[in-house]
Structure 1
Amino acid sequence: MFKSDPIVTLEEKIVRIERLFDAPIQLVWEVWTNPIHIGKWWGPKGFTNPTVEFDFKVGGSYRIIMRSPDGVDYPVKGQFLEITPFQSFVISDLVDEHPDEWVKEVQKMAGITGDREILNSKLRVLFEEVGEKTKVVLITEFANNQIRDGFANSGMKEGWSQSFEKLEENALPKSNQIFIEKKLNHPQQIVFKAFSDPLTISNWWGPTGFKTTTKTMDFKVGGRWVFTMDGPDGTIWPNTIEYKEIREYEYIEYQHGSGDKNKNDDFLVTINLLALDKNQTLVKMQMTFFDTNVRNAKLRIGAIEGGKQTLSRLSQYLEK
């Protein structure tokens, strides 16, 4: 089993932490930038994240409330200052809402006094491909070396180490799988109907710029959906879906491929529709391939982004 320990170094006003993950960069980037995934792993072991607000764009803000096992909240917030897709992002890290006791403890370790704002920092997260693995480097810049040392001595390495372990255990999929998850502001029954209606599914299915044409669709266990997807470059992609299991409003499972038995390109898809409230549904889509190499090839051609665009098109269609 792959295991990587974080490497921590102190530089001028900086704590640098780096760690290798046994997953392609597309997956690691996704679990760092999708608020649904962040809630699964952010914070030390035993901590939960009841609030994750993450407007991932330059100038957008974020706010994460970490709750300790004894019920104490540690809110962190800030703004996204820079974003370079699949390479890096930079955020401000503000401690405005942290408990007074925590502020006093860190100030004591740093040997400083004064307003809590001096504890604010800037975090740069770098992503680097290392074969099929991904190295993540955290560069946290503080106001001075005293504050740097105060944070370093307050369990910063241990906290991030435990977060990374949770990331691997709770957020990253298995080596032959891809997860795509998105919250839609629409009722569960309406979302299910959009997946099951042969008259309208072509209006939203597929990534941005693609056109879907349904030939036949029989939405039942054992039934098939045969369709083509026309790419922006004019390429026509034949598709065949065979439904394996359907539970009304909440679950769809199917085998997806080109329909050409000689290609052996089928993969299994499961879709869970979870009603978060009357007008909000969490779509959890999982794709399982017959080996890791096929999964990684799908990632390289944009499987995650394509899936997210498809669900965004679904949301836009339902809003109409």
Structure 2
Amino acid sequence: MTQNLATNTTIGAASDDGKNRFATLTFERDVAAPVTVLWEAWTAPAARATWAAPSPSVSVEFQEADTRVGGREISLCKAEGQPDIRCECGWLALQPAVRSVNYEVVSCEGAIQSAALVTADFSGSHERSRLVVTVQLSSLAQDMEAGYREGFGAGLDNLALAAERTMVLQRVIRAPRSVVWGAWMNPETLPQWWGPEGFSCRTQRIDLRTGGEWVFDMIAPDGTVFPNHHLYIEVRPEERLGYTLLWGENGPKHADAWASFEDQDGATKVTLGMVFNTAAEFQDAKGFGAVELGLQTLGKLERFVTSR
């Protein structure tokens, strides 16, 4: 379980008219997940979408997400009977598993409510990690300190729980990014390598684009059939894709997943992440060897692209 170590607030200054308020807020969390997993849960858009809403009565709609230095994220926070809250986040620094810095501007009905500088520091090991988030807040239209404290606190609690049921697999593949992406996002080639050693794919429908889907069966070496349904939420060519995993066609959700592709000295670093729907499903997946089987899948991808 996540332990909330501290939520400290220090008021720096306030103007005479009371409309401009400045505060520094610090949030700390210990998380029962590797620091590399926590980093992915913090930065990957598909993962962020799973924990961003502070409560079940609020939904967050992502309109834009580009997690790289100079990129930005735009989301709408929606609650019944309330005007939408727009949040623009711009990434200023990204040091994987070490630190991120971003600005955040919150507005409502066209009026800016607040601006903030958010610094997140990561530390830890292969088993546990620690996150310290510092928010330097300027309230412009009204005092936003209490709302930030509540919203960030709830969001980080959600993040910690999501990280604890997140699986991240990585492999550096000895082929250019365009080649690796092409093998992944080609309806003819994807079924040829997808799945662990000895497994094969039987496709019913495949449409590899934003809003598309892949309905298929994974067939184990002993003939056991595992129905799958992938719904593609986002496709950014040669950068990343986000999708939802269902247990069979239109079945219950199994996980929110993503794959990202990065250049690395002529090779390609592939990151495959999954936030499982429940902690129990995550533990079941680990128990039957999902990490090892997933790494076998990435190994098959490498053999496929290097043998052609």
Output the TM-score relative to the length of structure 2.
0.49
Q: Relative to total residues, which structure has the larger strand share, 1 or 2?
A: 2
Output the TM-score relative to the length of structure 1.
0.47
